Chain A
Amino acid sequence: MRMQDVVLRFDADAVLKGVTMDLDVQGCTVIMGPNGAGKSLLLKLMHGLMAPTSGQIMWGAKAPSDVMSRQALVLQKPVLLRRSVAANIDFVLKARGKDIGLRDGLLEHVGLLHKATQPARLLSGGEAQRLSLARALATEPEVLFLDEPTASLDPASVLAIERIVSDARSRGVRIVWVTHDIGQARRMADDVVFLQAGQVAEHSAAAAFFSEPRSQAARDYLDGRIVF
């Protein structure tokens, strides 16, 4: 994926101020940065849910909207249908013309098979997030966007989600993961994009980013000093 001089404005305010970056075909990119830096918006732009005010985003030779159906997005707050856990998966499988028989396997994979008949909206935060992830995987995406899927989850749920995503990655799914969890970024990232105030302050390989971040902003962030 190639992003060039992407600017996003709301009224007069530029929220993204000229973002340029390239992502490899494979691996897991972690996007970090303080609240309000523009991480969620960046994901939505890459996925094609929003269009930039100016600049260009291309997946190979294609526009995001042309490849959206081969990508999946897990929102920070899962949006679940007012149906059972199983019906939430069935809905996506049917809508995408896939085999309903895949459902139990998917639920098993995220450890929710025993909750299949429960109303989805009564799941706990961690369970809801796992269902949201299972639904994303049901579309068999080539690219998986995760927007802080483990914020406010207990350590076991965090590890469960990391395991599921690692699994997908080893099957060749491209991962783009927004997180504030530095430990998680260390565990998951191949490369790290550090976003600050709508600009890429740094984009480095994970090892380099954590051992010797090049930007002052990233250094401050990793040390727990607030960056606004």
Chain B
Amino acid sequence: MQSIGDALGLAFALVFSGDPDLLEIVLLSLRVSLTATALACLIGFPIGALVAIGRFPGRNAVLVFMNALMGLPPVVVGLMVYLHLSRSGPLGFLGLLYTPTAMIIAQIILIAPIVAALSRQVLEDLHSEYAEQFRSLCLTRLQTVQALLWDARYSLLTVGLAGFGRAVAEVGAVIIVGGNIDHLTRVMTTAIALETSKGDLALALALGIILLVIALGVNAAVQSVRMTATRQAYV
């Protein structure tokens, strides 16, 4: 067990040394979470848009369901994905368990509902402003959805960044379906959990620092997107 001061010193040394193991972990984290975020947006935005402008029976039930999915506990998602992907599970033949793909799937399931629910809110507000004018212009449903998605682009970008923030910081699901295998499925959060339990605080802290920087970076990005958009009255 190192003293915190020593560990912190080592941690900064690690961060700035460009340690290949560290880099590998960080890059895998980013690859998994960025891919999951992109796919979650691809799924979540259209669903959000359809629920936002659609008037169909059972719409309220869908809303409740979407909001409930937002609060899914990551370990439960991890467990469900594990059960499906494990050798005896229905998708076991794909051999995806303990691969980055499995982690991506788990993160998509975690954040797609968040993306869908938040974008639904954003798009519904915008639609209530545009609806009458759009109807007068006789736009098709597809044209309406496209215009809403484009005009909400800045808000949707912040929604995406919020999803990414949640994905990259999540540990419960990826440790179950990824297994935290060195050089294969070890990401920042799972490595921090492992190294801390092993007592290697330097590596844990180094990863913690990077994770913090990423979190701050995402927040700064959200902020600057907001400011750009506000300046042009595009929010």
* Residues in chain A within 8 A of chain B (CB atoms): 44, 47, 49, 68-69, 71-73, 75, 79, 81-83, 91-92, 95-96, 119, 121-122, 139
Q: B143: which A residues are within 8 A, CB to CB?
A: 95
B60 lies within 8 A of chain A by Cβ: no
What 3 pairs between A and B have smallest CB-CB spacing? Answer: A121-B233, A119-B232, A79-B133
| Of A44, A83, A95, A122, the contact of B137 (CB 8 Å cutoff) | A95
The answer to whether B232 touches A122 (Cβ under 8 A) is yes
Q: In chain B, what residue has the closest Cβ to A91? A: B147
Q: Contact between B137 and A82 (Cβ–Cβ < 8 Å)?
A: no
From known contacts A68-B138, A82-B233, A95-B139, infer whether A75 and B133 are also in contact, taking CB-CB under 8 Å. Answer: yes
In contact, B233 and A119 (Cβ under 8 angstroms): yes
Closest Cβ neighbor of A123 among chain B residues: B233
Instruction: Check A47–B147 contact: CB distance below 8 A.
Output: no
- A81 and B137 contacting across the interface, CB-CB below 8 Å: no
Bound together, the chains give a CA A27 to CA B234 distance in angstroms of 38
Give the interface SS of chain B, mostly helix, strand, loop or mixed: helix
New A-B contacts (11) at CB < 8 Å, excluding given A82-B234, A92-B137? A47-B136, A49-B132, A49-B136, A71-B136, A72-B136, A73-B133, A79-B130, A81-B130, A81-B147, A82-B235, A83-B150
Most buried by A among B129, B132, B138, B235: B138
Interface size counted on chain B using CB atoms at 8 A? 17
Chain B proximity of A210: nearest CB distance (Å)? 31
Q: Is B59 an interface residue (CB 8 A)?
A: no
Give CA–CA (A75, B135) in the complex, Å.
12
B132 touches A75 (CB 8 A): yes
Q: Does B151 contact A (CB under 8 A)?
A: yes
Q: List 14 A-B contacts (CB under 8 A).
A: A49-B132, A49-B135, A73-B136, A75-B132, A79-B130, A79-B132, A81-B147, A82-B232, A95-B139, A96-B137, A119-B233, A121-B232, A121-B234, A122-B232
Q: Is the CB of B138 within 8 A of A69?
A: yes
Tell me whether B233 and A122 are in contact (CB under 8 A).
Answer: yes
Q: Which of B137, B143, B234, B235 has the most CB of A within 10 A?
A: B137
B133 closest partner in A (C-beta):
A79
Contact (Cβ within 8 A) A82 B132: no
Chain A residues lying within 8 Å of B130, measured Cβ to Cβ, are 79, 81
Q: Are B137 and A119 in contact (CB under 8 A)?
A: no
Nearest to B144 among chain A residues (CB) is: A95
Closest-by-CB residue of A relative to B143 is A95
Residues of A within 8 A of B136 (CB): 47, 49, 68, 71-73
Chain A residues with CB below 8 A from B151, complex form: 81-83
Tell me how far the C-beta of B149 lies from the nearest C-beta in chain A, rounded to whole angstroms: 12
Q: Inside 8 A of B137's CB, which chain A residues have their CB?
A: 72, 92, 95-96, 139
Q: Which residue of A lies closest to B140 (CB)?
A: A95
Give the docked Cα–Cα distance between A122 and B235 (Å): 12
User: How long is the Cα–Cα vector from A73 to B129 in the complex, in angstroms?
Assistant: 15
Shortest Cβ distance from A82 into chain B, in angstroms? 4
A116 → chain B closest CB, angstroms? 15
Note all chain B residues with C-beta closer than 8 A to A69.
Answer: 138
Q: Considering residues B129, B132, B133, B139, which has the most beta carbons from chain A within 10 angstroms of its beta carbon? A: B133
Q: What residue of chain B has the Cβ atom nearest to residue A70's Cβ?
A: B138
Report chain B residues within 8 Å CB of A81: 130, 147, 151
- Give the distance in Å from the alpha carbon of A82 to the alpha carbon of B228 in the complex: 13
Q: Which residues of A contact B139 (CB under 8 A)?
A: 95
Pairwise interchain contact A119-B234, C-beta atoms closer than 8 A: yes
